[in-house]
Structure 1
Amino acid sequence: MHALLRRTGFSLFALFASCGVGAQAQAAAGDTRLGAIGMEGELPARDAVAALYAELDFQQATQSYLWALPLVSYAQWQAEFRDKLGAKSGDLMVLDSYEDKLGVITANATTPYILGFVDLNETGPLVIEMPAGPTAGGIGDFWQRAIIDMGQTGPDQGKGGKYLVLPPGQQPPDDAGQYYLAKSETMNVLVGFRVLDPDPAKGKALVERFRMYPYAQRAEPAKTRLLSPGGKAWSGTQPRGMAYWQRLHGIIQKEPVNERDRFYMAMLASLGIEKDKPFNPNERQRKALEQGVEVGELIAKANTFAKRFPDAQYWPDRQWDKVLNIADPSQRLTYYDQLWERSAWFYEAVTNTKGMVSKTPGLGQTYLGAYTDNSGNWLDGGKNYRLRVGANPPAKQFWSMTVYDIDSRCLIDNPQRKADLSSRQDLKKNPDGSVDLYFGPKAPEGLESNWVQTLPGKHWFSYFRLYAPTLAYFDKSWKLDDITPVQ
């Protein structure tokens, strides 16, 4: 390696200035996005080469950050369950209370979550016994691609059944016909579902009938352990700084490399992150990684909270976006995979199933996101807002409006200990059947039941969910108002 490529500790600005206009050895200066680059004829000046490589490293780190968001998200979540909550591979975590869900990115505050991570390196093929009942869930790989839905939008259609999860490359056993097959492309998987029955006792009984165990132990399966956070704090939000890359390096060691990811693996290798090798970045690599994770997250925020996907805006005269713009849970279109739609969704949310992108009236869920008020201004926790939900919302089951913290993308952690308003609550209605929802630091007098407390000095965003959306949602004959500032 040339000596100039080993120089570190300089800022890009200072280096570009030192090799730009006024450097006597240069024949010309190339004016670029990076500033003036010293040139020697058609070539960059020798003392400009290091800056160009530094820019390349930075760009690789930034793109790798955005690419890895879904993988790091699940790896972080899995590690928090293991290290802070004591969950082992194959255990189920029941997240029911407000505090339980504070670590879940854009959690639904209305229904309980039942979730477990399984390392197929440890278990081999995995059997899941899904009980009958009103549930929505599925099995996903660690790139957050849905492998198979379970429950009402799965092949069991809410009637229950046995599923068999196969690790990458594993052939189905002779008795595979007894199961719904789920072939994973990663060794680690998430198994999860939500109970949709509003009766807590029925929901609890359903969860207790769930079974998950290695196929090799099917003759005498052990009972599945059900755990709860028990008040312990945890966070599934992707870490920042070098911790992001450490988490990525760790999960890469456990997973096969998909063919579509080999060029990204090449970029990571130049930054010191490789499969089957320790992570010990040098000063040059560390600097690029630290800068890349910082700028990468800023780009992720723009890509998420100010979407530029052509069909993201649901109504042309409203600020509401479709938050899930991945056309199919495989993330694959005819000629490319949806990298930027994937990055947006898995920065602000977790999991993806076919039920979450259902276009069949009466099945699945839909998600609309509001990041701004009716004038396009970010939602400010120090201001007061109103949202009018028109009469007859198009939801066969129920609707909910949930407030999230921008920084964590999790439920707002407010003194009120409440983040959502829904049709399952006793909300005050207007004479025409519409409902006014309020958001701000203080409740409007007499409307406390219709209010979520926001935090001054912090911004927020919201999801409006429809469970079992009806035709009026899909044909857009029903329209949701924008969030509007009020005094």
Structure 2
Amino acid sequence: MANGLPGRLGTVRMEGELPHRDDIPVVFDELDYQLACQAYLWALPLVSYAQWKKQHYEVFGATGSDLVHYVSYRDRLGLITANATTPYILNFFDLAESGPLVIELPAGPTAGGVSDFWQREIAAMGEMGPDRGEGARYLIVPPGGGTTEVDGYRVLHSTGTNIMFGFRTLDPDPDRSQALVDAVRIYPYARREDPPQTRLVSPGGRAWSGDQPRGLEYWVRLHEIYQREIVDDRDRFYLAMLKQLGIEKGKPFAPDERLTRILTDGAAAGELMAQANTFAKRFAGSRYWPDREWDLVLPLDNSAQRGTNYDELLERASWFYEAVSFSEAMKSQTPGLGQAYLGTYTGADGEWLDGSRTYTLHVPAQVPAKLFWSVTVYDSQTRCLIDNEQQRGDRGSRDRDLRVNEDGSVDLVFGPSAPGSGETNWIETIPGRHWFSYTRFYGPLEPYFDRTWKLGDITPT
């Protein structure tokens, strides 16, 4: 007789208290499927960076001596929840190939840092880093490198073999901003006497995708990066799951028909879980104002991804499904420094934001941001900037043509057609696709922290 359990297990025949011998494969299929779902969520930050690096090296032609410079809107269309206001300069490096790596960061208004491929921040750099915007020469040492002090360098110990170095310039003047970019140097310490030129590579309008691949390709990417990365003790149980799924260090990934089916189904279900975990956050304290739909998009407590008595598995999965990189500066608690991020995935009516409908957002006067603020629209499927005909996905205080009300407030419009008032405060959405929005505060001020300033909801008209 069937045992009444849900899903595949409901088809298992029982012999008393034990499953029928012929139905044991059904039980193992379900076990491996559940392992795949959990491994999908666990691996999101690692696969995300591995995919992004692959795009840099294979699509843009970057090497370990280069930085990729994202400037235009089209450059950033493959970058998960990119800021459309400031340029990005970054690349990925394998310390097993380069050895200790030197980063020369010039003095000036920059925000950035170095992280491992689990997207744990190794160190902030620039205004929120130890150089405080005064510039420095950093030396990134691989795990087990042992070096603690080197004259003339700030030594950083990497928590992984693969790293990402990236930064943004915060100077609104384009010439000064470009001068900062041009002054950055990155090269192996072994070549410090004759360092290679640091080349700036442009995406050049090429189509690319930095979001995690779907289906079997997700596991292909995970297998690839696993071969070139160290293992933390906290991950050993997950590595046991990967072994059962045919992913082992030093062995080829060659799933048979059964495992291919399970991995494909597991990636699809894992992404569905990631979407719910991201777009309907159930973490305590996520809702920023109790009577608004805006959430704190960063549920992680710290860059180590460690909570009290546990590691932040679901918090990490939430953030790194919808975004890339983490810095303590993103959760600044110091008025006037760092950034703050709020996100909304539903309108004031509690329904998913729909590209075929028109909405308005009221931004009250005196936005608590020392540097600037912006509101950005992202495609829910890709989590990237909306690829609209307008080729513009944000509006904010840096837009010189922004129409401001007499009282200093701003009303933004989102929808598939330009409003009668014109395009100035309008962001075009795409019918048939859902979207979500971030509001960013650069240099958040006290009225943001004490919540006395309150942003309106995105309201259907």
TM-score, normalised via structure 1 length: 0.92
> Match for 2:237 among 251, 263, 271?
263
Q: 1:229: Cα distance to partner? A: 1.1
Residue of structure 2 aligned with 1:449, choices 424, 438, 443 = 424
1:389-404 equivalence runs, <5 A: 389-404=363-378
Deviation, structure 1 residue 244: 0.6
SS at the partner of 1:387? strand
Q: Distance in 1 between matches of 2:129 and 2:297?
A: 22
Q: How much does 1:37 deviate?
A: 3.7
What is the alpha-carbon distance in structure 1 between the residues aligned to residue 58 and residue 429 of structure 2?
31
- SS of the residue 2:80 aligns to: coil
Q: Which residue matches 1:383?
A: 357
**Amino acid of the residue matched to residue 74 of structure 1?**
Y
Match of 1:180 in 2: 154
Distance 2:404 2:308 in 1: 47
CA contact (8 A) 1:91 1:117 kept: no
Q: Does 1:251 align with 2:231?
A: no
Matched with 2:89 is 114
Please state how far the C-alpha of 1:357 moved relative to its aligned partner.
1.4
Alpha-carbon offset, residue 36 of structure 1: 5.4
Equivalent-residue separation in structure 2 for 1:142 and 1:154 (angstroms): 20
Pairwise CA RMSD: 1.2
Quote the Cα distance in structure 1 between the aligned partners of 2:23 and 2:334: 57
SS at match of 2:124: strand
What is the rounded CA distance, in whole Å, between the counterparts of 1:235 and 1:351 in structure 2? 16
Q: CA deviation at 1:31?
A: 4.0
- Provide the aligned length of Structure 1 versus Structure 2: 459
The residue aligned with 1:132 is: 107
Deviation at 1:114, TM superposition (A): 0.4
Residues in 2 aligned to 1:409 and 1:470: alpha-carbon distance in whole angstroms: 28
- AA aligned to 1:136 is A
Q: Deviations over 1:83-106 (max 9, x none)?
A: 010001131000000111111100
Q: In the alignment, what sits opposite 1:416?
A: 390
Distance 1:117 1:436 in 2: 39
What CA distance in whole angstroms lies between the structure 2 residues aligned with 1:239 and 1:334?
Answer: 32
In 2, Cα distance between equivalents of 1:256 and 1:273: 15
Aligned equivalent of 2:249: 275
The one-letter amino acid of 1:121's match is A
Q: Distance in 1 between matches of 2:158 and 2:313?
A: 20
How much does 1:403 deviate?
Answer: 0.3
Counterpart check, 1:220 vs 2:181: no
Aligned to 1:476, the other structure's residue is in SS state coil
What amino acid is aligned across from residue 374 of structure 1 in structure 2? A
Deviation at 1:212, TM superposition (A): 0.7
Is the partner of 1:235 in helix, strand or coil?
coil
Cα deviation per residue 1:13-60 (whole Å; 9 max; x = unaligned)? xxxxxxx44xxxxxxx35456425422222222233221111100000
- 1:279 Cα deviation (Å)? 0.3
Q: What residue in structure 2 maps to residue 7 of structure 1?
A: none
1:321 aligns with 2:295: yes
TM-score, with length taken from structure 2: 0.98
**1:396–1:470 Cα contact (<8 Å) kept:** yes
| Cα distance change on mapping 1:31 and 1:55 into 2, 3 Å | closer
Work out the CA distance in 2 between the residues paired with 1:435 and 1:357.
25
> 2:65 & 2:358 partners in 1: Cα distance?
44
Shift of 1:186: 1.3
Provide the rounded CA distance (Å) in 1 between the counterparts of 2:426 and 2:150: 51
- The aligned residue for residue 31 of structure 2 is 56
Structure 2 CA distance for aligned equivalents of residues 235 and 51 of structure 1: 36
In 2: Cα distance, 1:415 partner to 1:31 partner: 50
C-alpha contact 1:90 1:116 (8 A) present in aligned 2? no
Please name the residue that 1:359 is paired with: 333
SS across alignment from 2:424 = helix
Q: Which moved more, 1:58-67 or 1:179-188?
A: 179-188
- Bigger shift: residues 41-50 or 207-216: 41-50
Kindly tell me: are residues 134 and 298 of structure 1, through their superposed partners in 2, closer, same or farther at Cα, counting changes over 3 Å? Answer: same
Deviation of the 1:260 alpha carbon? 0.8
CA contact (8 A) 1:30 1:39 kept: no
Quote how far apart the aligned CAs of 1:124 are.
0.3
Counterpart residue identity of residue 338, structure 1:
E
One-letter amino acid of the structure 1 residue matched with residue 100 of structure 2: P
Alignment match, 1:472 = 447
Aligned to 1:13: none
More displaced stretch, 80-89 vs 426-435: 426-435
2:65, 2:196 within 8 Å by CA — same for their partners in 1?
Answer: no
Matches within 5 A, 1:292-311: 292-311=266-285
Residue 177 of structure 1 deviates from its aligned partner by 4.7
Q: Is the 8 A contact 1:428 1:447 kept in 2?
A: no
Distance 1:256 1:31, change over 3 A: closer
2:65, 2:197 within 8 Å by CA — same for their partners in 1? no
Whichever residue aligns with residue 433 of structure 2, its letter is: K
Q: Which structure 1 segments of 5+ residues have no match?
A: 1-19, 22-28
- Report the CA distance shift for 1:420/1:249 in structure 2 as closer, same or farther (over 3 A): same
What is residue 24 of structure 1 aligned with on the other side? none
Which residue matches 2:172? 198
Which has the higher Rg, Structure 1 or Structure 2?
Answer: 1
Cα distance in 2 for partners of 1:162, 1:124 equals 16
Q: Deviations over 1:460-482 (max 9, x none)?
A: 00100000000111110111110
CA distance in 2, matches of 1:429, 1:328: 37
Q: Residue 240 of structure 1 aligns with which residue?
A: 214
2:311 to 324, 337, 344: 337
- In structure 1, C-alpha distance between the alignment counterparts of 2:147 and 2:69, rounded to whole Å: 30
Q: 1:433 aligns with which of 396, 408, 411?
A: 408
Q: Which residue of 1 aligns with 2:136?
A: 161
- Superposed, 1:38-57 pairs within 5 Å as 38-57=13-32
Say which SS state the counterpart of residue 440 (structure 2) adopts. Answer: strand
- Identity percentage of aligned residues: 58
Give 1:283 deviation, angstroms. 2.1
Amino acid at match of 1:186: G
Counterpart-to-counterpart distance in 1, 2:301 and 2:370: 23
SS in 2 for 1:251: helix
Match of 1:5 in 2: none
Q: Which consecutive residues of structure 2, in runs of 5 or more, have no partner in the other structure?
A: none
Q: Residues of 2 paired with 1:316 and 1:428: CA distance?
A: 29
Q: Secondary structure at the match of 1:178?
A: coil
Q: How big is the shift at 1:223?
A: 2.0
The one-character-per-residue Cα deviations of 1:352-410 (angstroms, maximum 9, x if unpaired) are 01101111111100110010001110000000000000010100000000000111110
Q: Relative to structure 1, is the Cα distance of residues 236 and 32 closer, same or farther in structure 2, using a 3 angstrom cutoff?
A: closer
SS at match of 2:144: coil
Corresponding residue number in structure 2 for 1:26: none
